[in-house]
C-alpha cells in the first residue's frame, strides 16, 4: 500500500499541534484555578485559627467566647461556615449542613471538597486538643466557587484551540496541495508519454526539491536509449549473420538436388532442404519476436503506413505458395492508414497469412482485409480451415504453444508474434470463427 506525502505531513503536524493545544488549555485552566484554590485554603486556615482561639471549655461545655489572652477575639468571616464535632462525629457547635469529614490520628489538617446547598465548596478540617478532649473543626468557604468558571473557561479555551487547529490543518492541507502541484505536473507529464518517448525532462521547469529526481530520471532515460540502440544493433547484426548463411545453404541445396549425381540421395537432400527451410522460418520468427519487444522499439521511428499497401505486399509474397497449395488467397481492402513501423506490420500480417496457409486444406480460401470498422482501422485474416477451438483461443497466443494433433511443423510463435506487435501499438486481437461459422478469423482493431 502506497503512502501519501500529504497525509503524512498532516498527521505529523496534527498530533503535535493537538498535544500543544491540550497543554495550553491545561496551563490556562490551572493558571485560573490554582490562585483561587491557594487563596481559599489560606482564608480557611485563618478562619480555623480564629475559631481555635475563641474556643473555651466551661463545665465540660464547649463555647466560643472572647480571646482568653485578652483583647478582642479574631473575627470569623461571614463567608465562612463552620462545624465543631467530637471524634464520633456528633455536632457540638456550628452549621449542621457541613458534612463530617473522617480524620485519622496521622492527619492534623485535611483539605477537601464538600456539597452544601447543592454547591461544591472547599473545606478544611483540623484536629484540635482542648481540655474537654479532641474536637474536629471543619470550616467551609461559602463564597461562590471559582472552579466551575475555570472549568468553563478551560472547555471554551480547549474548544477554540481545536477550532483553530482544524482551520490551521485545512490551511496547511491547501498549502501542501498547492506546493505539490509541480510534482503532480511532472507525474502527469511522464504518465502521458508512450513507451517510445525517451526525451529528457527539462530540469529548469521543476522545483529545486525534486530536481535530483529529474536528473536521475534523465540519466535512466539516457541508459535506456543506449540499451535500446545496442539491442537494435544486435538484432540487425544477428539477422544478417543468420539469414546470409541460411539463404546460401538453401540456394546450394536447390542446385544440388537438380544434379544427376545427387539423384540416389535426393530424398535425404529434400529432407535436409525442408529442415533448412524450417530453420530459416524459425530464425525469422525469433527475430520478429525480438523486434516486437517494446524495449527494442522505444527509439523506433514510426511513420504513416497505408494498410492496403502492406496487405498487397504480403499477399504478393505468399501468392505463389498459395497457388502451389491450391488455395485461393485474396484481399479486400479499403483506404486507411495508421502510424506504425512498416516492417513490424509486415511481420504481423506475414505470420497470420503463413499460419492460415499451413492449416487451410487444398481447395480452401484465405481473405486478407483492411479497412475501418466502428471508426477504427483494422486488419483481418480469415480462412475456412479447421478453425481453433474456443477453449484454445487464449492459449494459442502463448509462445511455442501448438494445438494438440495440429498439422505442419510450426514452432508455435506465429500468433505470439502477432499478439506482441498488437500490444505494442495498443491494438486488440480477437480470434474467432469465420463468417460462415467455419475456419478462423483473426481481427486486429487499432486505436
d(Cα 198, Cα 164) in Å, to the nearest integer?
A: 48
Q: Where are the domains of the chain?
A: 5-149, 195-300, 301-445
Strand pairing category for 328-333 and 365-373: parallel
Express each pLDDT in 130-181 by its tens digit: 777 788 888 888 776 555 666 666 677 778 877 887 888 888 888 888 877 8
CA 280 to chain CA mean position, Å: 48
List CB contacts of 284: < 8 A, sequence separation 6 or more.
243
Highest mean pLDDT among 70-74, 311-315, 341-345: 311-315
Report whether pLDDT(98) > 60. yes
**Least-confidence region, from 179-183, 184-188, 225-229, 237-241:** 237-241
Average pLDDT over residues 329-336: 85
Q: What is the pLDDT of residue 386?
A: 82
Report whether pLDDT(72) > 50. no
Grid coordinates given for 182: 509541480
What does the DSSP 8-state code read for residue 397? G
Secondary structure class of 121 (helix, strand, coil): strand
d(Cα 124, Cα 137) in Å, to the nearest integer?
A: 8
Within 10 angstroms of residue 360's Cβ, the number of other Cβ atoms is 22
| Class of domain 301-445 as given by CATH | alpha beta
Report whether pLDDT(254) > 60. yes
Express each pLDDT in 276-295 by its tens digit: 777 776 666 666 666 666 55
What does the DSSP 8-state code read for residue 105? T
List CB contacts of 374: < 8 A, sequence separation 6 or more.
445
The pLDDT confidence band at residue 73, using thresholds 50, 70 and 90, is very low
Q: Which residue has the higher pLDDT, 153 or 188?
A: 188
Secondary structure class of 209 (helix, strand, coil): helix
Q: What are phi and psi of 86, to 5 degrees?
A: -85, 170
d(Cα 104, Cα 134) in Å, to the nearest integer?
A: 12
Work out the mean pLDDT of the chain and round it to a whole number. 77
Report whether pLDDT(70) > 60. no
d(Cα 347, Cα 330) in Å, to the nearest integer?
A: 18
Express each pLDDT in 429-446 by its tens digit: 888 887 777 888 888 888
Q: Which residue has the higher pLDDT, 153 or 191?
A: 191
Report whether pLDDT(241) > 70. no
Grid coordinates given for 127: 484536629
d(Cα 397, Cα 112) in Å, to the nearest integer?
A: 87
d(Cα 197, Cα 343) in Å, to the nearest integer?
A: 20
Express each pLDDT in 298-318 by its tens digit: 445 678 888 888 888 888 888
d(Cα 67, Cα 53) in Å, to the nearest integer?
A: 6
Nearest CA among 283, 321, 303, 310 for reference residue 381: 310
CATH number at 5-149: 3.30.450
Q: What is the pLDDT of residue 349?
A: 87
Let me know: does 64 contact 56? Beta carbons within 8 Å: yes
Q: What is the pLDDT of residue 298?
A: 47
Taking the CA atoms of 32, 38, 44 and 46 in sequence, report the sign of the dihedral they define: negative
Secondary structure class of 265 (helix, strand, coil): helix
CA 292 to chain CA mean position, Å: 31
- The residues that bridge with 81 in the sheet, in sequence order, are 140
Query: Residue 401: enclosing H or E segment and its boundaries?
Result: none
Nearest CA among 388, 374, 395 for reference residue 441: 388
Average pLDDT over residues 178-199: 77
Grid coordinates given for 313: 505486399
Amino acid at each position: 500500500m502506497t503512502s501519501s506525502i500529504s497525509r503524512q505531513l498532516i498527521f505529523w503536524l496534527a498530533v503535535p499541534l493537538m498535544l500543544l493545544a491540550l497543554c495550553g488549555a491545561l496551563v490556562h485552566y490551572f493558571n485560573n484555578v490554582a490562585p483561587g484554590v491557594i487563596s481559599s485554603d489560606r482564608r480557611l486556615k485563618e478562619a480555623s485559627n480564629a475559631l481555635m482561639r475563641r474556643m473555651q471549655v466551661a463545665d465540660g461545655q464547649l463555647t466560643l467566647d472572647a480571646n482568653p489572652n485578652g483583647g478582642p477575639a479574631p473575627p470569623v468571616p461571614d463567608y465562612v461556615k463552620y462545624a465543631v464535632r467530637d471524634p464520633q462525629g456528633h455536632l457540638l457547635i456550628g452549621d449542621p449542613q457541613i458534612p463530617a469529614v473522617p480524620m485519622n490520628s496521622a492527619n492534623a489538617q485535611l483539605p477537601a471538597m464538600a456539597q452544601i446547598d447543592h454547591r461544591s465548596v472547599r473545606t478544611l478540617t483540623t484536629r484540635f486538643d482542648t481540655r474537654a478532649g479532641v474536637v474536629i473543626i471543619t470550616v467551609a468557604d461559602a463564597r461562590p466557587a471559582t472552579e466551575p468558571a475555570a472549568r468553563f473557561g478551560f472547555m471554551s479555551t480547549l474548544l477554540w484551540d481545536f477550532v483553530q487547529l482544524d482551520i490551521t490543518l485545512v490551511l496547511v492541507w491547501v498549502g501542501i496541495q498547492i506546493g505539490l502541484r509541480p510534482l503532480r505536473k511532472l507525474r502527469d507529464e511522464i504518465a502521458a508519454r508512450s513507451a517510445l518517448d525517451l526525451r529528457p525532462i527539462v530540469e529548469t521547469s521543476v522545483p529545486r526539491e525534486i530536481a535530483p529526481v529529474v536528473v536521475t530520471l534523465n540519466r535512466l532515460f539516457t541508459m535506456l536509449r543506449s540499451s535500446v540502440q545496442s539491442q537494435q544493433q544486435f538484432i540487425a547484426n544477428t539477422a544478417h549473420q543468420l539469414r546470409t548463411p541460411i539463404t546460401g545453404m538453401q540456394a546450394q541445396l536447390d542446385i544440388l538436388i537438380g544434379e544427376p549425381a545427387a539423384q540416389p540421395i535426393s530424398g535425404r537432400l529434400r529432407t535436409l532442404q525442408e529442415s533448412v527451410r524450417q530453420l530459416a522460418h524459425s530464425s525469422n520468427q525469433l527475430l520478429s519476436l525480438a523486434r516486437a519487444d517494446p524495449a527494442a522499439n522505444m527509439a523506433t521511428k514510426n511513420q504513416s503506413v497505408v494498410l492496403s499497401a502492406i496487405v498487397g505486399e504480403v499477399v504478393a509474397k505468399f501468392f505463389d505458395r498459395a497457388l502451389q497449395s491450391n488455395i485461393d488467397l485474396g484481399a479486400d481492402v479499403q483506404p486507411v492508414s495508421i502510424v506504425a513501423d512498416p516492417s513490424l506490420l509486415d511481420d504481423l500480417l506475414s505470420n497470420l497469412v503463413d499460419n492460415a496457409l499451413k492449416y487451410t486444406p487444398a481447395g480452401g480460401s484465405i481473405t486478407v482485409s483492411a479497412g475501418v470498422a466502428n471508426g477504427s482501422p483494422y486488419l483481418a485474416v480469415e480462412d475456412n480451415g479447421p478453425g481453433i477451438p474456443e477453449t484454445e483461443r487464449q492459449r494459442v497466443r502463448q509462445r511455442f504453444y501448438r494445438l494438440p494433433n495440429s498439422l505442419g511443423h510450426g514452432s508455435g510463435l506465429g500468433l505470439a508474434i502477432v499478439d506482441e506487435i498488437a500490444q505494442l501499438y495498443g491494438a486488440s486481437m480477437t480470434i474467432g470463427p469465420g463468417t460462415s461459422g467455419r475456419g478462423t478469423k483473426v481481427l486486429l482493431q487499432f486505436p
